[in-house]
């Protein structure tokens, strides 16, 4: 009896083993047909994203480090070269000042007008009641300005002023050094009771 039951069980197992497809009625006996599980993809994506973030952060940190390092090098170079740069600037400024002085000397030497001699000539040729108050001469080629005062505010003051301008225009010494003599302004001063004259004299260019 036991032998017959054993044989029947073996036959049933043999028939099941020879079946052309598995039995879908028993899920536990179905094969695992997933090639790659979904969990694997999720884990892989997480690893890739984490790696990308780490690379980005690493590159940013390295770039900041490089910038700071370059700044330190530049600041060190500035500190090293600053004393020499300051000395060079001071030397250049000194050279410019000396160059300006030399140019003034050259210009004055090239000008035919001897200012001191002409000043003596002006003082010697001033008419009565006329006083030289100020004279401005800025150098070769620049107009010379005279400020004079005529004593009194009577009718003769205007005539004296006009005659003196005419005198300068006809003066041989003035013609030698100046192209033009022009009365530019007159002011009546009630307080000191005089007439102020302002005269512009165009200096001839230096002879070459």
Domain boundaries, the chain: 34-110, 115-203
- Segment among 99-103, 123-127, 163-167 with least mean pLDDT: 99-103
Identify the pLDDT of residue 124: 92
Which of 42-51, 102-111, 140-149, 198-207 comes out lowest in average pLDDT? 102-111
pLDDT at residue 167, rounded to an integer? 94
Q: Which of 33-42, 87-96, 134-143, 161-170 is most confident?
A: 161-170
Half-sphere exposure for 139 (CA within 13 Å, toward CB): 10
Can you say how many angstroms the Cα of residue 186 is from the centroid of all Cα atoms in its chain? 46
On the question of pLDDT at 34 being above 70, the answer is: no
Q: pLDDT tens, 76-108? A: 878 888 777 777 677 667 656 765 654 554 454
Q: Look at residues 125, 128, 138, 129 and name the one whose alpha carbon lies nearest to residue 194.
A: 129
Q: What is the pLDDT of residues 142-152, one digit of tens each?
A: 888 999 999 99
Instruction: Specify burial of residue 149 (Cβ count, 10 A radius: 0-12, 13-18, 19+).
Output: buried
Say yes or no to pLDDT of 2 above 60: no
| β strands within 68-174, DSSP E | 130-137, 144-151
Evaluate if residue 171 carries a pLDDT over 50: yes
pLDDT tier, 199 (very low <50, low <70, confident <90, very high otherwise):
very high
Architecture label for domain 115-203? 2-Layer Sandwich (3.30)
DSSP per residue over 14-52, as a string? HHHHT-SS--TT-GGGS----SS-HHHHHHHHHHHHHHH
Q: Which residue has the higher pLDDT, 142 or 182?
A: 182
Q: Residue 169: CB partners within 8 Å, gap ≥ 6? A: 181
Where is pLDDT greater, at 177 or 14? Answer: 177
Least confident of 1-10, 70-79, 85-94, 109-118: 1-10
Q: In the chain, at which residue ranges do the beta strands (DSSP E only) sit? A: 130-137, 144-151, 178-189, 194-203
Instruction: For the full predicted model, state whether its pTM sits above 0.95.
Output: no
**pLDDT, position 109:** 46
């Amino acid at each position: 009896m036991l032998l017959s039951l054993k044989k029947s069980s073996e036959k049933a197992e043999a028939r099941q083993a020879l079946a052309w497809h598995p039995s879908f009625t028993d899920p536990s006996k179905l094969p695992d047909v997933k090639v790659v599980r979904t969990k694997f993809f999720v884990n892989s994506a997480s690893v890739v994203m984490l790696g990308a973030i780490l690379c980005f952060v690493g590159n940013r940190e390295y770039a900041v480090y490089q910038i700071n390092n370059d700044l330190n090098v530049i600041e060190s170079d500035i500190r090293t070269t600053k004393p020499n740069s300051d000395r060079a600037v001071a030397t250049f400024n000194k050279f410019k000042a000396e160059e300006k002085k030399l140019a003034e000397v050259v210009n004055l030497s090239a000008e035919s007008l001897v200012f001191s001699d002409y000043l003596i000539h002006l003082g010697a040729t001033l008419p009565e009641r006329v006083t030289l108050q100020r004279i401005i001469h800025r150098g070769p080629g620049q107009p010379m300005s005279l400020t004079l005062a005529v004593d009194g505010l009577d009718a003769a003051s205007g005539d004296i002023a006009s005659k003196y301008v005419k005198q300068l225009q006809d003066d041989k010494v003035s013609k030698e050094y100046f192209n033009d003599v022009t009365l530019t302004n007159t002011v009546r001063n009630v307080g000191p009771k005089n007439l102020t004259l302002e005269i512009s004299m165009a200096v001839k260019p230096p002879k070459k």
